[in-house]
Structure 1
Amino acid sequence: MNLEDLVRLRRARDRMDREYAEPLDVTALARGAHMSPGHFSRSFRAAFGETPYSYLMTRRVERAKALLRRGDLSVTEVCFAVGCTSLGSFSTRFTELVGESPSAYRARDHGDTAALPACISKIHSRPVKNGDPRTPPLP
C-alpha cells in the first residue's frame, strides 16, 4: 500500500471519528477516499485491522456509552443520536462489544469511573469485540 492511499484512509477514519452520527456508508467513504468500495474496504482493513463498518460502529458504541452514563436520554434516543437507524442492530452490536445490553449499562452505577481522567477512562472503556484483550480492564 502506498503512502498516498494511507493518507486517504486516515482521512476517511478521521471523518468517521468526526461524523459518526451522520449516515456514513462504505460507498460514501470510498468516494471521499477516491477508491472503489471494495478496494477501500480491503485497504482499510489491511491498514487498521478492522472493516470500516466495524470501526464506525465501535466509535458509535463508544459515544453511546458516554451518553448512557449521563442517564438523561433513553436507549432509543441514544441509538439515534449516535447515527444508528435500527434499535435492534444497535442493541445487538452494543451488547456484543460491551458485554451487556444498553439498558443494563445505563442502569448500572458508573460512579467508580467518575474520578478517572477522561483520557484514561476512554482508553479503558473502549468497546472491544468478544472480550479482545487489546485493552486492559479497569482496576
Structure 2
Amino acid sequence: MTSRPTEAEHLRDLARLRRVRDRIDREYAQPLNVEALARDAHMSSGHLSREFRAAYGESPYSYLMTRRIERAMALLRRGDLSVTEVCFAVGCSSLGTFSTRFTELVGVPPSTYRRETAPATAEMPSCVVKQVTRPVRNREAPVTEQHLT
C-alpha cells in the first residue's frame, strides 16, 4: 500500500518537475534521456514520467519533442537552412523521426511547412508569428523508449 505524499513532498516534487521542464527548455538541442533527468531531479525515471505527465499533460519525451519542433518551425520560417540541417540543429539524430514527429505535431511535413508558411508570415511581427504558428498536438505517437534523443 502506498501512502499519499504530504503537501511538503508534493511541493518539493513540483519544484523538481519545474527544474526538469526548464532544463528541457534550455537544453532541447542536447541529448537528453529520462534516466539522466530523473537522476538529476533525485527521482526514479518512472516517478518522473508519471508526475511530469500529471503536472504538464504530456510525457517528458513529448514535451522535449514539442520544444524541438517549435524551434524547428522558427528555423524553417527563416529559410536559410535545409530540413536536414534544421533536424540536427534542434537535437534530433534521425531525419525520419524528426519528419514524422513534425508532421504529427504540425500537420504537414517540414518541407511543406517551410514552403507554405515562410511567405505567409513574412510581414507579421515575430510575437504574432509565434502565437499563430504554435504547434498543436494532432495525435500522440506511442512512445515506449526512455531515451529522448
For the criterion TM > 0.5, the same-fold answer is yes
Moved more, 114-123 or 80-89: 114-123
Cα distance change of structure 1 residues 124 and 109 upon mapping to structure 2, 3 Å threshold: closer
- Provide Cα deviations, 1:77-99, integer angstroms capped at 9, x if missing partner: 10000000010000000000111
Match of 1:43 in 2: 51
State, as a whole percentage, how many aligned pairs show the same letter. Answer: 71
Aligned residue for 1:83, secondary structure, equals coil
Point out the structure with max Rg over C-alpha.
Answer: 2
- Structure 1 residue runs of 4 or more that deviate by more than 4 Å after TM superposition: none
Moved more, 54-63 or 27-36: 27-36
Gaps in structure 1 of 5+ consecutive residues: 132-139
CA-CA distance at 1:31 after TM superposition: 1.2
| Higher RCO structure (Cα 8 Å, ≥6 apart) | 2
TM-score of the aligned structures, taking structure 1 as reference length:
0.88
CA-CA distance at 1:118 after TM superposition: 2.7
Distance, in Å, in 1 between the alignment partners of 2:132 and 2:31 is 27
- Provide Cα deviations, 1:18-57, integer angstroms capped at 9, x if missing partner: 1000001111111111100000000000000000000000
What does 1:120-139 correspond to in 2, within 5 Å?
Answer: 120-130=128-138
TM-score of the aligned structures, taking structure 2 as reference length:
0.82
Equivalences, count: 132
Gaps in structure 2 of 5+ consecutive residues: 140-149
